Amino acid sequence: MNSEQQTFSAGLEGVIACATRLSHVDGEAGRLIFCGHNAVNLATTRTVEEVWFLLHHGRLPDETELASFKAKIETLGALSDKEVTLARTLRAGEPLSAFRTVLSAIASARGYKPWLNRDQAVVEEEILALSALAPQIVEVIHGDRAPLSKEGNNGYAERYLWGLTGSQPNADLTRALETYLILTIDHGLNASTFAARVTASTGADVGASLTTAVGTLSGPLHGGAPGPVLDMLDAIGTPENARPWVEQELGAKRRIMGFGHRVYRTDDPRAITLRSVAEKQNGPRITLARVVEQEVLAALAAHQQQRSAEQGKQKRPLRTNVEFWTAVVLEHVGIPRELYSSTFCTSRIIGWGEHIREQLQNNKLFRPLSVYSGPPVSE
């Protein structure tokens, strides 16, 4: 077959690149599954550690297993004094970039080596250890101080919030954050997870794989939208201004942050759940956010209809994605706007770690082909 006859899928849309037992995004039904469990049910009733255990072992823990897993994650999640100093030295710049740099430096300082031909159990412990460090890395980057003591803490979500706000958070705020962290813990073969698996497939060290994944989050098309969503709510200001603002943005061919998804053809279940959390919080943003969501949905539907007519093919529906209501929930919880992507990282790093583990248990180097579109051979 010559190159003109070959086709490819831009953005690998519709391409199945691996099998995973970890999660399934059912885009038609608007359902998210983690290891056979409905993610929404898990997010509203379970803790991060329970879901992490589920991803790791394929089943939920009993009480004793949970206690020992929680203790292990807390121990692994503590930076050494040397690592705190390293993190404080490298924390310059935007928090997510600092996170990426610090994570990479810690893995390197710990001497983590390419996993190929090494004892798998040791490599799996390295994955768990690096993933567990995320909350303290964000705390040190944000606070430029040693992590606070959190004696009597109730787990991963509470420790994270405590480290950022400086005191033990109340149970409602922790629950809201915990729901978010669970909902975003894994999501099929999204861009960052794919990136992590591609790097892992070369036999690279786990620090390199996780750092690759963090790198993808700097773009607002994947994981970086909640901050811009709040910027948008600020710019709109009042419910009456929502319609003209949105029309102006679409007219200027700009994307509306927090809307649209590659896989979901119906409502994103994570957005629905986080909308309920935001409704329950009933914070000062809620009225504006509700109006803006409705105005954007109406404007996007009209926009897609017009584009369908112009292009002579049906354009996909654009619905609210997880990041719109994430912004409202995280603001109410008290997380600074510049840390939204890092907060996403403290959740998704768990999924990345489990995907890397899955990749190396049954590895095949990722090496797709490309269609040549350059000039013909001239000599």
Start-to-end CA distance of the chain, whole Å, equals 22
Binding residue (CB under 6 A) for ligand COA from 87, 141, 256, 335? 256
Question: Are 147 and 136 within 8 A, CB to CB?
Answer: yes
Phi, psi of 309 (to 5 degrees): -65, -45
CB of 340 to ligand COA, least distance (A): 11
Please tell me what DSSP assigns to residue 90.
T
One-letter identity of residue 249: E
Instruction: Please tell me whether residue 259 binds ligand COA under the rule CB under 6 A.
Output: yes
Binding residue (CB under 6 A) for ligand COA from 216, 281, 321, 359? 321
The catalytic residue among 158, 323, 331, 354 is 323
Q: Which residues in 289-318 contact ligand COA (CB under 6 A)?
A: 307, 318
CB of 32 to ligand COA, least distance (A): 12
Q: Would residue 24 show up in a list of annotated catalytic residues for this protein?
A: no
**Segment interacting with ligand COA (CB under 6 A) among 77-85, 140-148, 174-182, 218-226:** 218-226
Binding residue (CB under 6 A) for ligand COA from 225, 230, 327, 335? 225
**What's the number of CA atoms in the CB half-sphere (13 Å) around residue 261?**
24
Q: Would residue 323 show up in a list of annotated catalytic residues for this protein?
A: yes
Structure-block tokens of residue 149 = 């003591």
Q: Kindly tell me which of 59 and 307 has the beta carbon lying closer to ligand COA.
A: 307
CB of 71 to ligand COA, least distance (A): 34
Q: Kindly tell me which of 56 and 355 has the beta carbon lying closer to ligand COA.
A: 355
Question: Are 222 and 344 within 8 A, CB to CB?
Answer: no
CB of 308 to ligand COA, least distance (A): 9
Instruction: Please tell me whether residue 39 binds ligand COA under the rule CB under 6 A.
Output: no
Give the DSSP H/E element, type plus range, for residue 24. Answer: strand 23-26
Phi, psi of 37 (to 5 degrees): -115, 145
* d(C-alpha 298, C-alpha 268), whole Å: 17
The catalytic residue among 261, 303, 332, 355 is 261
Instruction: Please tell me whether residue 257 binds ligand COA under the rule CB under 6 A.
Output: yes
Cβ-closest position to ligand COA: 260
Give the DSSP H/E element, type plus range, for residue 34. Answer: strand 31-34
Please tell me what DSSP assigns to residue 148.
P
* d(C-alpha 159, C-alpha 168), whole Å: 8
Q: Kindly tell me which of 222 and 285 has the beta carbon lying closer to ligand COA.
A: 222
Please, which residues have CB within 8 angstroms of residue 26's CB and are 6 or more apart in sequence? Answer: 32, 33
**Segment interacting with ligand COA (CB under 6 A) among 56-64, 133-141, 254-262, 355-363:** 254-262
Binding residue (CB under 6 A) for ligand COA from 24, 88, 110, 255? 255
Q: Which residues are catalytic, by number?
A: 261, 323
- Binding residues (CB under 6 A) for ligand COA: these are 11, 220-222, 225, 255-262, 307, 318, 321-323
